[in-house]
Structure formats: C-alpha cells, structure tokens
Structure 1
C-alpha cells in the first residue's frame, strides 16, 4: 500500500510528496531522491560486511541507471561484441587453455617413467582439471518434454514467434511447475531448450504469452555471455578454485597446529585473491548480460507488442501475489481459466501501487551480481522506446486449443499443488 504523502513528508530536492510501498524508506517519485538508499533489512547480504554491501549497492545502482540512460536512446539491436564481452571471452579462453595444460601435465606425470613417485601428483592434477572443467548443462529432471505431434498448436505458436524475432526454433520445448520461463543450450551438442512454467503461462493473457516466448527465444540471438559454453569458465572457474584452496579447520594442536596455521594463512590469501578475481569477472560479465536482457525485452515487444511486453514484465514484478492466487485456485481444483481471472484481480488490486513498485525494484534489485536489470527499468525501457505493434497475434480461440493440448499437464500441476498444500 502506498502512503502519499507520508505524514506530510516532502522531497528536499523538488518538494514533491514522498511515497513508500512494502515498508520501504520513502523516496520521491518525481526526482527519485533517496531511491538509491541501501536497506539491509530488505535484501540479503552479498559480501557479509555491511559497509562494503552499502558501497557496492550504491555502485550497482549507479551502473544500472547509467546503463539504462545509455541504452534507452541507443539501438538495442546492435549485437556486436562490446568490451565486456571481448574481455570475458578472452579470459575464458585463457582459463580453458590453463585447464587443458594442467590435464596434459597430469597425464605426463602419470605416464612418464611409469611407474614412479610422480603418479599421485599426476592424478591430483587430473582431478583438479576435471573439477575445473566447463559444464555442458542438462535439462532439469523435473521438466516435462513436449512432443510436437501432441501439442501442434503450441509448437506452431513457438515457430511463429521464433520467426518474428529472427531466432532459431528450440530443439526441445518443456514444461515445469515454476512461475517463470527460461531458454538456453545444454549438452555437448548445445541443444536449444525452451522451458515454460505452467503457473505463469496459465496466468498470463494471450499477448503476454507471446511476449514471454519472444523474450525467451530472444536469448538464442541476443549474445548473452552467460549462455555460451566458451564464456562459462569466466563465471565459474575462479570461484571453484577459491573454494578448493579455502582452508578447512582441523583438530591439530601444538607444533602441528603452528605449521597448519602458516599453511592456512597462505590458503586464505590465495582463496581471497581467486575470489576477488572471480567477483571482478562476474561483475564484468553481468554488465553485458543485463544489456542482453534489455535486447530480449525488445524482441518480446516486437513479437507480442510493446504494451503486452511491458505488462508481462509487470506481472513478474507482481509474481508473489499472482503466484499466491494461482496456487489458491489450484488447491481449489480450478484450472487455467480461473488462474487468469484470479491473476487479473490481483493485478487490478495492485494497479495503484504499481508505479511505486517499479521504482522500488530499482533500489531492491540493484546488485553487482544481478544478471537481470531491475524490473522497473526493464518495463520503463519498453515504454520509453519506440512502440512496436504485435508481429504475432494470439486469439482466444487459438489459446483455447493450446491450453486444451496441455490439459493433462495442467491437471498434474493442480494435483501437485493440492497435495503439496
């Protein structure tokens, strides 16, 4: 609930009435005075030291706003490699080479002058290389893979949206029970996967579903560094190495303990250096990932229309309230028709507070580690850029055919929620 003005409080910069929502510290909705405040009670600590978390939050807030101001007037369809992407790829290649050399060195220690005392060291080097190797990823075991023959209307829509955003169609379309959706490539062959969370799908109106598909399949062409195998080492390898060298407390005493303390000191220093480098690389890569999210949102607007894309983002901003009413209806045994009605009611009741919630998301979700820009900036980006008409129109009749194909999957979700309480 928004209270405006808050006990007669006004902005010290422009004298406008301040607002608040969800018990947040008030800010000015006009000039956004105090919107950049750090509120430790409203967010999880990132580094564990409040003075550091406060400064990194302010830095992340400024970077988010600066990126928004730059991109809102820029061409989001520019997909050329930026400096962050070039550096991320370069460091990833270097790390991959180092791991490959470590594996070769391990093999050499094992087979050279076999058998010899170097075998244990060779096996240790091979084990370390295996631990640091890139992961190819896999489809979540809980996801249900759909068959094109059993869901032709859904696959037809997916194909149309893929064509509208100039993206390749996914190789696998799956469903899960989350209030979300995601797309990516898995396995050595980099199989393209689109996974749709049925609670979210069933709660959204037709054009917002089109926008959702447009956004997710936009990740196949938006150059997101998080989703390429080549850049994965930059996001994971140094963090894994820091965990490996971090010391473990033992029960040693006396002289043994003194020696262990010296070793632990070296380990802690090395672990902190590796973790610091990991943080720097993640921060660098996430800047580019946030730009990729804006591009995916632009493709969502082209597919489903700008109004639907912005409204879809607002739905996920209100995900807690919408998911709650969807689960309430599911526990009552109702399917997607009732989910949509309940979701529309929840959105209508939150309409008055939505502008403030968009602004507050910029405060709450500013982070150096965030792969997505704050929801409020994302929907504002769509609203302030050139408006797009929908390239794909999903009629109610066509939507009914799609939902009919998914009937047994909806029934499973209803059962799971009902049994799960």
Structure 2
C-alpha cells in the first residue's frame, strides 16, 4: 500500500496538506474535507449509471455519518426500537398478510366452484403465486463442517463462556469452513442459531482477538439484527422474489403481427412492473440495513465488553487489512505452516502497516459507506469503540488454551491448508 502526501493541493477548509492512499481521491486527514468524494475508479458500480451511483454514495455516506453521530456517546442497547426497525417490521407484516390473502383466496376459489371452471384455474394460479412469494428463512450451509461438543470440548466451552458473559443465547450449531470470515445466523422457521468460524480467519487471530470475534458474532443473537429475525425476513426477500417472478423472458418466436404486438406490450408491462417491485425492494432493503448497521455497533460493544477495548479494536484493524491478511495466510498455508505461523505473518503485516492504519481507517469511511451495506465502515466502528469506557475483559483466553483449541481442530486445519495448497 503506497501513501502519498499532496504538496500541490491544500485543504480549502483548514489549509493542511491533503493525503491519499493508493491513488485514492485526496482528502484532509485533519478535518476530513473531501472524504465523502465519490471515487469512481475505486468503487464498484451499484446501479451502472455514474450519476445515480454518485448520488447513492453521497446519500449512503450522509446517512452513515448521521447514524454514527446519533449513536456516539450513548448506550447502544437502550432507546427502544429505531424507526428503521419499526418500518421494516411493519412492511414485513403487510407482506406476510398479502401472501396469506393470496393463499386463502386461491384455496377458496378452488373449493368454492366446481371443476372445470375459470375460477378454479385462477385459484390455482393465486395459490402458486403465494407459494412462489412465501418468505425464505434460509438453510444450513451444506459446506459447513458441523462440530460436536465431544469433538471440540474446549471450543464449545469457550463459546459458552462468551455467550454467558454477554447474556446472549448459545448457538445450537457450531461449525467451521475454509473462508477468511466468520458469521452468526439463524436458519429455518424455528430460527436455529448457527455460528460458523472460518478457520483461516480464526487461526490468524491472537487469543484476545478470538474472544472479541466470538463476542461480536454471538452478540448478533441478542442485538435485534433484522437480518436474523423471523418477523423481518420478508422485507429482505419477498419483493425481490416478486420482481424476478414477473421479469419478462424471451419466448419462442412465431405468430402474426397481432401476436407480436401483444407480446411486446406484455413484455413492456412486465418490465415496468418488475422494475417497480425491484425499486421498492431496494428502498425497503436500504431502510432495513440502517437498523442492521446499528446492530453491528451493538455487537462491537458486546465484543469490547467481553474481550476488552484493545482486543475489539485490534480485531477491527486486522479486518481492515483483509487483503493483506489473506495474502499472508495463503502464503503460509502453501509453505505447509499451521495457525501459529499464520498469526505471526499477520502480526508482521500489521507492524509493516505502521502509521498507515489511521489513514486506512479514514478511507474506509468513504469506501465502505453505502445504502446497501449491512456493516458500518470499519473506521467508524473502531472510532465508536474508542470512545467507550474502558474496562477489564470478562473472558480471557490464554495462549495455552488457544493451543488446545487449535489441537482439537487440527484435522480441519490440515484439510483447509491442503485445499489452498492444491488450488495453486
């Protein structure tokens, strides 16, 4: 990562020299002038039209900063439900009611009229539409390697300790995979709680950072995240499914001019209806994700509570250098080394970053702000934690205990290491 300090330009607000990281649009590190700039060269398009993407970025940036200002310095777990959460829940209830109405009407038309009858055909169509639009509650990832308490007793005990310390339910399923990531989710109508630890990520973290990671992920079981609640799932899926359902598709060509005109008119109507439904879907998701970002801040607070501020902020800084971490871990895997060496390589990468971290944190506020991001920017998350009161960690993971956990997962570590090595 190359950092350059501009000598030709000065901040028009405070007069300080502007800075840039890796050819990003320059900004002022002091007053953050131009940090909200839309950097088209470094940002993947969201809509495909430059002016819409620029407007979307600016709006997402403003909403993100406004939420941070609103939450900073106040208890994140109090204050009741946000307006975004209430809108999401309300719309979800309406959508569920609409699907139930379609199903009930379809069944009534089928049983109320003798067959054959046009009403029966309409009833079958309405019932099929209700089935197609039903809420989806997710399934267990087939690639998840599910662990048992007998197989990994130390890991399960640590998870239980962290859950008890932050006052959240324990996961009902604990598993691992080969991703440089971790997640907590709920699947099925009964919302079975699932914790997944990506072993390249877990193995690359120091013991305090592992506790912070568990605190954050388990915090999602008690922070009201709408992505994991059964009542709010329809807001994220149903209108998008409806848009896909009515999207026009090409059919077999043939027929006369009348049929061609009718088909063109039908496709035009389907296209407009599909775009309308998808537009409403995007608006609803953007609103719902405001509350998801609040939930991420709360999960970070739970992480800091159980592991300490230093461990929680260190975890965020490690995540900020995700690409460097991935390169370091992959290099050590291909060299045949285990998680102990992964951690050393990541620590060396962090040390090499040095003073660049403060600029990368600022740049993340620009590059990670979006209407459609479920997470606040890493820089704001770290800043939020840095302003919290300091306290001793509730759970301490020693090097010896971390080594015992790694020994329990030795088989899974080796499988993932070989998969990476074989991938070239």
Mapped pair 1:331 → 2:334:
yes
CA apart distance, 1:317: 1.1
| Partner residue, 2:193 | 192
SS of corresponding position for 2:263: helix
CA apart distance, 1:386: 1.8
CA 1:331 to 1:79, structure 2 compared with 1: closer, same or farther past 3 Å?
Answer: farther
**Aligned length, in residue pairs:** 421
CA apart distance, 1:238: 1.0
| Partner residue, 1:161 | 162
| Partner residue, 1:18 | 18
Structure 1: distance between partners of 2:171 and 2:267: 48
Question: Can you give the 5+ residue segments of structure 2 that lack an aligned partner in the other structure?
Answer: none
Structure 2: distance between partners of 1:402 and 1:236: 38
| Partner residue, 2:124 | 123
Match of 2:372 among 369, 380, 399: 369
SS of corresponding position for 1:182: strand
Question: Is 263-272 or 249-258 further displaced after alignment?
Answer: 249-258
| Partner residue, 1:206 | 207
Structure 1: distance between partners of 2:21 and 2:124: 57
| Partner residue, 2:172 | 171
- CA RMSD after TM alignment: 1.5
| Partner residue, 1:380 | 383
CA apart distance, 1:45: 1.4
SS of corresponding position for 1:67: helix
Q: Cα deviation per residue 1:210-267 (whole Å; 9 max; x = unaligned)? A: 0000000000000011111111111111111112222224445633222222222322
TM-score, normalised with respect to structure 1: 0.97
Question: Is 125-134 or 329-338 further displaced after alignment?
Answer: 125-134
8 Å contact 1:304–1:393 — kept in the other structure? yes
CA apart distance, 1:113: 2.5
Match of 2:356 among 342, 353, 363: 353
Structure 2: distance between partners of 1:3 and 1:346: 16
| Partner residue, 1:221 | 222
4+ aligned runs moved over 3 Å, structure 1: 1-4, 249-253
8 Å contact 1:5–1:17 — kept in the other structure? yes
Mapped pair 1:30 → 2:33:
no
8 Å contact 2:161–2:395 — kept in the other structure? yes
Structure 1: distance between partners of 2:385 and 2:187: 30
CA apart distance, 1:4: 4.3
Question: Is 238-247 or 144-153 further displaced after alignment?
Answer: 238-247
Question: Can you give the 5+ residue segments of structure 1 that lack an aligned partner in the other structure?
Answer: none
TM-score, normalised with respect to structure 2: 0.96
8 Å contact 1:134–1:229 — kept in the other structure? no
SS of corresponding position for 2:45: coil
| Partner residue, 2:77 | 77
SS of corresponding position for 2:232: helix
SS of corresponding position for 1:261: helix
8 Å contact 1:301–1:309 — kept in the other structure? yes
| Partner residue, 1:104 | 104
8 Å contact 2:195–2:217 — kept in the other structure? yes
8 Å contact 2:3–2:22 — kept in the other structure? no
SS of corresponding position for 1:18: strand
